[in-house]
Amino acid sequence: MGKKRSRYVARSEAGKGWQIWNTKMQKWWGNWFRAYPEKLLLELNDQKRPPEIASLTKELQKLDS
């Protein structure tokens, strides 16, 4: 058995920041973030609790403003 492949991964682009890529659907998820969304990625790839995802997304958006 190997390492489980992550469905959601973060990709960066110079001057824009980080965006989350959904590897299964082959499309972008959410908005751009200036900070690396580590906690959000862990939640999306593990337990997928909607209230926690919403809270982490709001927290990252506050950091961007």
Give the model confidence (pLDDT) of 27-50 as tens digits.
Answer: 999 999 999 999 999 999 999 999
| Enclosing H/E stretch for 38 | helix 38-45
Residue 51 has pLDDT above 80, yes or no: yes
The residue-averaged pLDDT of 49-55 equals 96
Let me know if residue 3 belongs to a domain. Answer: no
Let me know if residue 16 belongs to a domain. Answer: yes
Predicted confidence at residue 20, as pLDDT, reads 97
Query: Would the CA dihedral through 37, 42, 44, 49 be positive or negative?
Result: negative
Q: Which residues pair with 11 in a beta bridge?
A: 19
- The reported pTM is 0.87
Predicted confidence at residue 47, as pLDDT, reads 93
Let me know if residue 24 belongs to a domain. Answer: yes
Residue located via tokens 């927290």 = 59
Over the chain, what is the mean pLDDT? 92
Domain of residue 15: give its range: 8-64
Q: Which residues pair with 54 in a beta bridge?
A: none
